[in-house]
């Protein structure tokens, strides 16, 4: 399957389980793989035959900078639902949300949640 990739989209949001996260906010990174048949777009060179990256960005931005959500898993699920509703050409998507500075003790680079969803699951 063909893919469109959007990597390391950066957002500041107010998501998390703890009140401090909801009040102060924090950085998030989103990686997205969009699975779609891109053969027609490759041959036609017409955006109407593909998925507009800019429109995808705005869908993700609305979720990431919108209403507070507790879990990374729920953020990813919400993004996948919005993408399927917005882009009929989309067959499947992989969404990874990374939180580089979670309020947990220890030494690590980041924490993340990743989901893969197909249309009509």
What is the mean predicted confidence (pLDDT) over 68-96? 98
Active site residues: 99
| Predicted local confidence at residue 98, as pLDDT | 98
Give me 91's structure tokens.
Answer: 């067959």
Residue 115 buriedness (CB in 10 A; 0-12 / 13-18 / 19+): middle
pLDDT digits (tens, 9 = 90+) for 7-57: 999 999 999 999 999 999 999 999 999 999 999 999 999 999 999 999 999
Is 3.30.1130.10 the CATH number for 3-118?
A: yes
| Predicted local confidence at residue 74, as pLDDT | 98
pLDDT digits (tens, 9 = 90+) for 56-80: 999 999 999 999 999 999 999 999 9
Residue from 111, 92, 98, 109 nearest 10 by CA: 98
């Amino acid at each position: 399957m063909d893919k469109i990739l959007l990597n390391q989209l950066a957002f500041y949001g107010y998501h998390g389980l703890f009140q401090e996260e909801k009040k102060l906010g924090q950085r998030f990174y989103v990686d997205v793989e969009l699975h779609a048949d891109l053969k027609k777009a490759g041959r036609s060179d017409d955006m109407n035959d593909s998925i507009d990256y800019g429109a995808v960005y705005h869908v993700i931005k609305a979720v990431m900078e919108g209403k507070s959500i507790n879990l990374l898993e729920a953020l990813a699920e919400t993004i996948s639902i919005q993408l399927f509703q917005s882009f009929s050409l989309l067959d499947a998507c992989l969404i990874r949300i990374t939180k580089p500075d979670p309020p947990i003790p220890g030494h690590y680079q980041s924490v993340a949640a990743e989901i893969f969803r197909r249309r009509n699951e």
